[in-house]
Amino acid sequence: MNNSRPKAKLSRALGLPLTPKCVKYFEKRPFPPGVHGRSRRKASDYQVRLLEKQRLRHQYNISESQMRKAYDDAHRAEGKTGETMVSLLERRLDATVMRAGLARTIYQARQLVVHGHFMVDGKKVDRPSYRLKPGQVIAVRDKSRQKPPFQLAAAGAHLDGPTAPYLSTAVEDLRITVLRLPERSEIRVQCDEQLVVEFYAR
């Protein structure tokens, strides 16, 4: 999803930094943008749930229709709807590329996928929304490996801690293997998914 709104302002509106670069701006001004950013009235129940939905949506950089589809799929599945919804979003190809340290942000991950730099099980995939399954292998295409973003990734430049436990990542080889489905406690997104469920179920 192409969102032209400045990421720093969007981060302040949502109440969380969306990229590493936004952290310093968010820490300097941890309140919503605009003239009345410091003196907003108490939010209604609807506003609280809407904000939580927007927070989750923008952390994965997806459109409203994609967000709604994730909720509908989770609602039809077994288990807790909120946890299943977040797990489905985490299984997107662009999210997996970012979690594995092959991209610095979700925006870069999406761009790299759209430009056709990745293969899944040996086949080129250029859809960021492609939903991965356990056992699948993601790798950077041979002709893309010498490009600067992947040279940085192979050197570990995008890793800010251990990779997700549901992934087996060979960063130096630019290869990811999906070991199993992610659990909610392992997913690094700031969100109360129950509020999102309540927003859509209203």
> Are 95 and 89 within 8 A, CB to CB?
yes
User: What's the token pair of residue 97?
Assistant: 């590329």
Residue 33's pLDDT is 61
Inter-axis angle of helices 64-76 and 193-201, to 10 degrees?
90
Residue 158's pLDDT is 84
Residue 43's pLDDT is 76
The pLDDT tens digits of the residues spanning 143-202 come to 999 999 999 999 988 887 778 999 999 999 999 999 999 999 999 999 999 999 999 998
Nearest to 15 by CA among 28, 30, 4: 30
> What is the pLDDT averaged over residues 52-70?
96
Q: Which domains does the chain have, with CATH numbers?
A: 92-180 (3.10.290.10)
Residue 26's pLDDT is 62
The pLDDT tens digits of the residues spanning 111-127 come to 999 999 999 999 999 99
Residue 36's pLDDT is 47
Residue 5's pLDDT is 63
Residue 163's pLDDT is 81
User: What's the token pair of residue 32?
Assistant: 């919503």
The pLDDT tens digits of the residues spanning 123-141 come to 999 999 999 999 999 999 9
At 20, give phi and psi (nearest 5°): -55, -35
Residue 1's pLDDT is 59
Residue 57's pLDDT is 96
DSSP 179: -
Residue 38's pLDDT is 54
The pLDDT tens digits of the residues spanning 75-105 come to 999 999 999 999 999 999 999 999 999 999 9
